[in-house]
Every structure is written in C-alpha cells, then in structure tokens.
Amino acid sequence: MKFTDLGISDPVAKAVAAQGIVEPTTIQEKSIPMILEGKDVIGISRTGSGKTASFGIPLIEMIDTNKRLQGLIITPTRELAVQISQELVKWSKHKPMNIATIYGGVSIAPQQKAIRTAHIVVATPGRLCDHIQRGNITLKQIKTFILDEADKMVEMGFVEDIERVLAVTNPERQILLFGATISDEVGYIKRTYMKKPMMAEAQLHVDKDLLEQYYVDINQNMKFSCLMHLIKESNYERMIIFCSTKRMVSLVQHNLREYNFKVGAIHGDLSQSKRLLSIEKFNKGKINILCASAVAARGIDIRGVSHVINYDLPRDPQEYVHRVGRTARGGGSGIAITLLAQHEHPLLRNIIKRYKIPLEEMELPKIERYTFHNPNPRNRSNRGHGGRQRRGGPRRNSFSDRPPRHGRNRLSRGNRDDSSDNSRGRYRSRRESSGDSGGYKSRGPRRESSGDSGGYKSRGPRRESSGNSSRYKSRGPRRESSGNSGGYNSKGPRRESSGNSGGYNSKGPKKPRRARNK
C-alpha cells in the first residue's frame, strides 16, 4: 500500500518518499483516512512506529496555503517541537507553507514575527500560553488541534495550560491525541473536549526477534564496573545510557570521559542549545554514547541506536517502554540491558506484570572493578544550615578545609590560633588576645586600658576621670560640680539648689511643693 491509496496527494507523497518513507506503517494506515475525514482520533502505538507522520502528513494535506494559521501541534518538550517542525518542512517540500516553532528558553521576538505568516504552529504549552496572553497569536481559526505525547503532558502538569488553549480555539476544531501510551488522566480531555473520537491502535511492543531485552542482577556499588564491561565487550554502534536523575547523568558522563570515551549528555538542567548540540553530535557520529534522563526517553527521533542500557530503573513502568523504544526503530534490531540492584526488584516485577515484557537474565563472568569518582559528593562539608545546599554559590568539594558558616555542633576544621586557656574557639579561630576574654568573635587584642574594665568591644583606654567611675562609654572627665552627684553623662555643674537633691540632670532648684488637701 502507498500513501496515495490513503488519500494523500502526489506532491506530498513524493516529498515523503524522498525521506525514505515509501510504505505506510500500521498506525499510519489506520489513522490517516480517519483524520482526512475530519474525525477526532486517538492514536496509540509503540515508540518508533511513525506516529509523527500519522498526523503530520494528513495535516499538510489539509492545509490551504491561501489562508493563515490552521494547524496547531502541542508537544511536551522543546526538542520534540524542533524535531516535528523539521519533519513538516521536509514533507511540505512540494507544497510550500510556513511553520513556526514556539518554545521557551529563547527570545520571544523572532517567534512573534514567525507567527504572523504561519500556517502551522508547533509549540510547547508554557510559551504558547505566554504568546496568547501577550496577544501575539489568535486561535479562533484553528481547524486541527494535535496533542503529541498527550500522556506525558498530563504527567508533567500541563493539563491546565492545555485547557487554557482549548478555551480560545474554535469549538468546531478537530482534535487528535497521539502517544505510545494513553493514561487514564487523558480520559478527561477525551470526555470533555472530543466528539465521538475514533481509536487507531497498532502494536504496542517491539517484536521479540527485533528487540532483545536482558537484565543483570548486580550490587549497586558494582553498577559502573558492569557498565564498563558491557561497553567494552559489546559491539555497539551507538548507545544510550538512561539514568533516573540529572545528577546521575552528569556523574556517569564524567566518569566515562575519564576513561576516554566520547560521551554526551542530555537532561533538564542543560540549556536548550547544549541539549540540541548533544543530539546533533550523536546523530552525526561525533559521539557514540549518550547519557540521558527521561527527557530523551520519548518523542526524539534518534536513529541507529544499537544498544540501550538502563543504569537505573524508572519508577513509572511507561517510561521503561519509552526508553527501550529508542532502539529497534524502523524495523531494525536492538538490545536493551537493565542493571538491576537489589532495591529495584519490585520495580522490575511491576514492569513485567503490567506489560508482559519478556526479559532474560544475563550472566556475566567475573568483571574488573573500575573506580567511580564523585567530584562533588554530598557530605556534611558541602551543606549549609539545616543540611541543605547554601545559596549564593556552588557546593564545595570534600577536600575543602573551610568550616561551615552556620549551624551548631559543627567541628572547626582549622587549628586555633594562640589564645587564652579559657577561649572556646567557636566556629572561627580567635586572634591573639590578652586577659581572660570570654567574648565571641573577638576581632583582636584589646587596647591598653586602665582599671578593671569588663565591657565588650572596648574602643580604647578611658580618658582621665576623677573618682572611682565604673560607668560605660565615659566621654571624658566630669566638669567641676558641687555636691555628690552620681548622675550619668553630666553636662556640667548643677545649678544652685536647696536641699539634698538626688535627681539626675537637675535643671535648677526645685519648686516648693503644694500642700495636699487632707
């Protein structure tokens, strides 16, 4: 069967054939005719089965180039948005049209300009809502609304953004949902916004003859040594190593580079330019190993991957299906190996129970032990108050001799300087001090002073004064005064007064008291 038999015109079918897509896949055969009829469609098939072409080719066929924006495709990640746009440009070679790609992390001005003349917009939810709020895009004329990797967007919390977009679109638009798996949460969108949707479902798992899946039962502290053994012994062309956390992705990449492997990385903390550069190098063969998080597990078209290794098992069984789907794509073969630690056995049992995946245990000989270096360990010396990372700078490595800034019961790492026997040495070593000083954070020795001064932070010796003055912050000798004045900060001699006045700051003689009425 050819695409022209499904209702695709010759110019579009010719451009598709130029990209090596001659015969439609099962999901394309089932979905394309229903889409061309204008029906709402839910398409489900395994990763690598051609879902992008299932909605992209009929969308190009239905576009009227004499009108403005007619098609909207929403994707969960920036990489997938870029990839879909590139494919649409290739398939519309003989039917020229404008395609705008909208995603965050880049300047908004060029996107605003591209929207004005676009026939199709491919966008991520957050940046699309930003354009809607700014008034840069109007969706009332949209005819086809497509959600790619719909379950992933629901999982990432984009349901509210999707509802905001649907609220400003034409109520008569056509809605298409595609994904390798469709979760129960997507049912809300189906019940609320879709009209009698049709199901287009193909094979969900790769044939056992094409994809071999194994697991290696090994201790957690031997995972990297096992990974090194598999890399050296396997005859791989291109390999993807999946890790469950962004930090582990960076650690595995760092250690493989220490052993002179050409390794790239892709995870959520990298900038958009670095992520796209890693994918480009991997596709062009400049690097043959890619360490990745869940960002690369779905949607991204990376071909020619011979091996997939799960360094960690994901908690979501669906993610395992997407990971192993990175290999054995387009009718090719591949191998998927999972490094299984003791605490991951329940996760594997859940995956096997849910998807009936045939996994075989791989027996390994005695393997050589390799050092797994952690250049930035999370120990006490790297933590600030409350055991969390201090703000304002990167973590210090484990060899730093700087003591923590905050927190009690912390041990000072430096030797104390010469101090008195009674010095406690709290957090910061004191400088040389004289006398029995028990104060905290003394900045240096006290200046010479007269008398037994117990005050803190004495700025210098007291000025000459008369009498036994034990007052603080004496500004100088008192002026001449009459009587036994014990007042503080006396500004001068008291005025003449009658009687023994003990008042402070007396301004003059007291007035006679009035007699009280008895």
φ/ψ of 377, rounded to 5, equals -70, 155
Nearest Cα to Cα of residue 371 among 239, 459, 478, 255: 255
The rounded distance, in Å, linking the Cα atoms of 263 and 265 is 7
Task: Name the range with the highest mean pLDDT among 151-155, 189-193, 374-378, 485-489.
Answer: 189-193
Give, as one character, the DSSP assignment of residue 133: H
Place of tokens 């469950």: 244
φ/ψ of 297, rounded to 5, equals -75, -25
The rounded distance, in Å, linking the Cα atoms of 407 and 166 is 51
In tens, the pLDDT along 26-39 reads 999 999 999 999 99
**Which tokens is 96 given?**
């020229």
DSSP, collapsed to helix, strand or coil, labels residue 155 as helix
Q: Please tell me whether the overall predicted TM-score, pTM, comes out greater than 0.75 for this model.
A: no
User: Domains in the chain, start-ordered, CATH in brackets?
Assistant: 3-201 (3.40.50.300), 211-361 (3.40.50.300)
The rounded distance, in Å, linking the Cα atoms of 169 and 129 is 12
Residues paired with 199 in a beta bridge: 42
In tens, the pLDDT along 221-264 reads 999 999 999 999 989 999 999 999 999 999 999 999 999 999 99
Q: At residue 215, what is the residue type?
A: Y
Q: Work out whether strand 120-123 and strand 71-74 pair parallel, antiparallel, or are unpaired.
A: parallel
DSSP string for residues in 377-389: --SGGG--GGGSP
The rounded distance, in Å, linking the Cα atoms of 382 and 402 is 10
In tens, the pLDDT along 444-461 reads 555 544 444 444 444 555
In tens, the pLDDT along 39-68 reads 999 998 877 778 899 999 999 999 999 999
**Which tokens is 252 given?**
């595995």
The rounded distance, in Å, linking the Cα atoms of 436 and 420 is 7
C-beta of residue 174 within 8 angstroms of C-beta of residue 42: no
Comparing 181 with 138, the larger pLDDT belongs to: 138
Place of tokens 């991204």: 300
222 φ/ψ sector (left φ>0, alpha ψ -120 to 50, else beta): alpha
